[in-house]
């Protein structure tokens, strides 16, 4: 170990290093090594020196790193470009990504959400009516595959438009599956390997992109201006210098948004259902919150209704605190980076890894951190986030504009499931609308509990790109009369 580098995690073998212990359970790996080495330490991930820096200071160091010091696209492009397609997101200069995020964000407006809530409600209601797994009065169901179906229908219809959503009933579903096979950490690590599924992924990418480009041509021919969905906005956006967005870039951004929305929401909605099954009392409280706020006849849900359902919002917030789909955020180091307050200088042959989930489960910020308690987010809850150095976890947050609107630097926040800084998520509001609406409709139809009646919750599968529940994850459901 060199004197001015962070401590190196002990490992037996070169190349493999700590890949397996990290890959099997990243949160446990971070916690154990934080206790041994402190907030900043280096481990070997498939031969690559990977420096972890956790806690609010680590989150700030990595997520608010200067563009000349840290680089996301170098790390992510091998994973995302074969799946999304060329010239978008991580296959273009960061300045172009910032413009693309501006275009996407313009489409995700309150007006759009007003349209999305009825769309999402109807998709969930229809799915529950049609699904063979929810026939009769009660039963046992493996919930993650059902939530994957519900999210693909709701995300594709809301974000991509009706014509794309209807294609998911036939060809698009299989193509999406082949595309999805390429979205795995193996590709992340061994992108150069001629893995068999990568041919299917490449064929699927070209075919899906063509479906989008044909839809774009149809809409342009029809002079379509009705649906204010994302495709319409991207088709009518121009880069600085009034350069229109080429059709293939619109198609590739649509694939990127579909993948983002699908994986994050499918994982999170599965965890929400599993947590509700472990706490049937909270599921009852959600039902009563709706009856109290909207009336016992439970009229069709509107976007404005969501603001009257704070417990529904807290369910999503608390689930993301314990089950953030992205457990590791990576950056390449472009210039040697001195770590403030230490003698460490991170060299350019290291990769930086931020793990915001570590502070979200740190007892010094969240009392009883492993307890899933949505009410901890209410103002005067005894479990509320500890005020950090007189900076409340939520407010008083420094904001900065990277070209797609003001985003919080989140420098002091122990809770960053959507990241922070230049690469921060632009899908947070959509995700909240989608997840709260799905939860509200499910709560209206069913009561859940664990098959064994316990308050336990299943373990996490970290082997895929987005952490998600181990499968099968069965719950007992009962139709609410
Ligand atoms: C529960 C849902 C979601 C979670 C937890 C989540 C989380 C994140 C995180 C942690 C990042 C930062 C990645 C990094 O810094 O490397 C991010 C970025 C991003 N997310 Fe999300 N996301 C969610 C939903 C969505 C949705 C629904 C969309 C699109 C509609 C979306 C689009 C994006 C985009 C475009 C970026 C920017 C990437 C960059 O600038 O490098 N996300 N998200
Ligand atoms: N042995 C072994 C062994 C070793 C290691 C492991 C596990 O190791 C790791 C390490 C790192 C990671 C990182 C996750 C990661 C990063 C980027 C992205 C993304 F870019 F794709 C995304 O941010 C996703 N996103 C954003 N918002 N919603 N979705 C995105 C951005 C913009 C966009 F438009 C579309 C997008 F969808 N996705 C996921 C995951 C697993 C397992 C086994």
Cα–ligand 2 centroid distance for 294 (angstroms)? 38
| pLDDT at site 57 | 94
DSSP for 120-178 reads HHHHHHHHHHH-GGG-SSEEEEEHHHHHHHHHHHHHIIIII-HHHHHHTTTHHHHHHHH
Calpha distance 80→336 (Å, rounded): 27
| pLDDT at site 163 | 82
Predicted confidence band at 257 (pLDDT cuts at 50, 70, 90)?
Answer: very high
Work out which ligand 1 atom sits closest to the CA atom of 316: 1
Q: Which of the residue ranges 111-125, 214-228, 250-264, 337-351 would you say has the lowest mean pLDDT?
A: 214-228
Residue 427, ligand 1, Cβ within 6 A = yes
- Which tokens go with 166? 């209807």
> Whose C-alpha lies nearest to ligand 1, atom 27?
261
Residue 432, ligand 1, Cβ within 6 A = no
Tens of pLDDT along 77-135? Answer: 999 999 999 999 999 999 999 999 999 998 898 889 999 999 999 999 999 999 999 99
Work out which ligand 1 atom sits closest to the CA atom of 155: 27
Residue 329, ligand 1, Cβ within 6 A = yes
Does 391 score more than 70 pLDDT? no
Work out which ligand 1 atom sits closest to the CA atom of 98: 40
Residue 417, ligand 1, Cβ within 6 A = yes
| pLDDT at site 187 | 81
Residue 46, ligand 2, Cβ within 6 A = no
- What is the DSSP pairing of strand 48-53 with strand 350-354? parallel
Tens of pLDDT along 169-228? Answer: 778 888 988 998 888 888 877 777 788 888 889 999 999 999 999 999 998 898 866 666
Residue 426, ligand 1, Cβ within 6 A = yes
- Cβ–Cβ < 8 Å for 420, 410: yes
pLDDT, mean over the chain: 92
| pLDDT at site 387 | 63
Predicted confidence band at 392 (pLDDT cuts at 50, 70, 90)?
Answer: very low
| Strands, E assignment, 194-259 | 238-239, 243-244
């Amino acid at each position: 170990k060199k004197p001015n580098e962070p401590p190196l995690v002990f490992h037996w073998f070169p190349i493999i290093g700590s890949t397996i212990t990290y890959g099997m359970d990243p949160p446990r790996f971070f916690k154990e090594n934080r206790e041994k080495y402190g907030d900043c330490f280096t481990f070997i991930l498939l031969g690559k020196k990977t420096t972890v820096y956790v806690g609010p200071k680590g989150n700030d160091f990595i997520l608010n790193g200067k563009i000349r010091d840290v680089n996301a696209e170098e790390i992510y492009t091998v994973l995302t470009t074969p799946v999304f397609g060329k010239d978008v997101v991580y296959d273009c200069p960061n300045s172009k990504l910032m413009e693309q995020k501006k275009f996407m964000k313009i489409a995700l407006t309150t007006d759009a959400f007003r349209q999305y809530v009825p769309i999402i409600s109807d998709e969930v209601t229809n799915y529950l009516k049609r699904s063979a797994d929810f026939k009769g009065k009660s039963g046992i169901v493996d919930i993650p595959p059902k939530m994957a179906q519900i999210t693909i229908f709701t995300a594709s219809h809301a974000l991509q438009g009706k014509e794309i959503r209807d294609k998911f009933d036939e060809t698009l579903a299989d193509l999406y599956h082949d595309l999805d096979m390429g979205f795995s950490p193996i590709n992340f690590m061994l992108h150069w390997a001629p893995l068999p599924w990568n041919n299917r992924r490449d064929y699927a990418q070209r075919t899906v992109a063509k479906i989008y480009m044909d839809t774009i041509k149809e809409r342009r021919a029809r002079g379509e201006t009705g649906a204010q969905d994302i495709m319409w906005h991207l088709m009518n956006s121009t880069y600085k210098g009034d350069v229109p967005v080429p059709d293939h870039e619109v198609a590739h951004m649509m694939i990127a948004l579909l993948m983002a929305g699908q994986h994050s929401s499918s994982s999170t909605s599965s965890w929400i259902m599993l947590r509700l099954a472990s706490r049937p009392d909270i599921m009852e409280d959600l039902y009563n919150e709706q009856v109290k706020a909207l009336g016992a006849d439970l009229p069709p849900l509107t976007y404005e209704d969501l603001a009257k359902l704070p417990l529904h919002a807290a369910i999503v917030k608390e689930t993301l605190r314990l089950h953030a789909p992205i457990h590791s955020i990576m950056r390449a180091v472009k210039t040697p980076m001195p770590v403030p307050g230490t003698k460490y200088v991170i060299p350019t042959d290291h990769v930086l890894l931020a793990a915001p989930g570590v502070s979200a489960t740190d007892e010094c910020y969240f009392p009883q951190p492993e307890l899933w308690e949505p009410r901890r987010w209410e103002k005067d809850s005894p479990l509320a986030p500890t005020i950090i150095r007189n900076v409340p976890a939520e407010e008083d947050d420094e904001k900065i504009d990277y070209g797609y609107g003001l985003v919080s630097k989140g420098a002091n926040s122990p809770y960053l499931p959507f990241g922070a800084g230049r690469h921060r998520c632009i899908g947070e509001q959509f995700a909240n609308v989608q997840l709260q609406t799905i939860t509200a409709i499910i709560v209206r139809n069913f009561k859940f509990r664990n098959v064994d009646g316990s308050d336990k919750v299943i373990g996490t599968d970290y082997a895929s790109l987005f952490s998600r529940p181990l499968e099968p994850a069965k719950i007992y459901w009962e139709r609410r009369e």
